Amino acid sequence: QFTPDHVERCWAFVGKQTFRHDLHCDYKSNRKPAEPGMLRCIREAWASLTGHGVRSWAVEGFEGDDLIASLVESSGEETVVMAGNDKDLRQLIEGGRVAQLLSAKWDDEQRKYVNQWQNEHSLMRTIPPDGWGIHPYQCVDFQCLAGDSVDRIRGADGIGEKRAWLLLREYQDLP
């Protein structure tokens, strides 16, 4: 479906902290350290991708999604397709210009809402398939309400993903 002019890969430094660790002491504190062979595998993958003409990016103190966001913001009016499972990338989706490729499970109600929204906005499947069923501009509000257990960020008390989704469908955004 997509025929890219070029491909770029963004990496996080394995085992290094980012600026988010300075902002939140529990950030990703529930994650296990990288396996000892991971760094070697990443070096090999980097070399292989480079050999195939894929430009790679890594900046100490930043995660891969931060670098992707920088590339998207600097892309001007070019069409960008992000391939990645990081839910933080969803806020970068911009109808017809920035899409995210991702595979996961769908909730039937979310699928219906996502499909309706895509049809109304003439999008080329730019909402991730597991979709939160919300607009990209609502992603930050969604995570503020629901939190992010993967990154160990607390949300609002008593509000999980389903309630956050329902609130944003009804009220559109946080005041």
Q: Using CB atoms within 10 Å of the CB of residue 3, give its burial: 0 to 12 exposed, 13 to 18 middle, 19+ buried.
A: exposed
**CB contact burial 66-103 (16+ within 10 A = b; e otherwise):** bbbbebbeeeeeeebbbebebbbbbbbbebebbbbebe
Can you give the pLDDT at residue 156? 94
Distances (CA, A) of 6 to 95, 107, 137: 20, 34, 27
Can you give the pLDDT at residue 157? 95
Can you give the pLDDT at residue 115? 56
The Cβ-side half-sphere exposure at 144, using a 13 Å CA radius, reads 10
Which letter does DSSP use for residue 117 in this model? H
Structure tokens at 158: 């008593």
Query: What is the value of pTM for the model shown?
Result: 0.68
- Per-residue pLDDT of the chain (175 residues), as tens digits, is 557 788 888 888 766 777 777 777 777 777 777 787 888 888 898 899 899 988 999 888 888 888 999 999 998 888 888 877 677 888 888 777 787 765 444 455 555 555 554 555 444 344 443 456 778 888 889 888 998 877 778 899 999 888 988 898 889 888 8
Return the sign of the alpha-carbon dihedral for residues 143, 145, 148, 153: positive
Q: How far apart are CA 88 and CA 102, in angstroms?
A: 12
| Amino acid identity, position 63 | E
Contact 132, 6 (CB under 8 A): no
Q: Which residues pair with 81 in a beta bridge?
A: 99
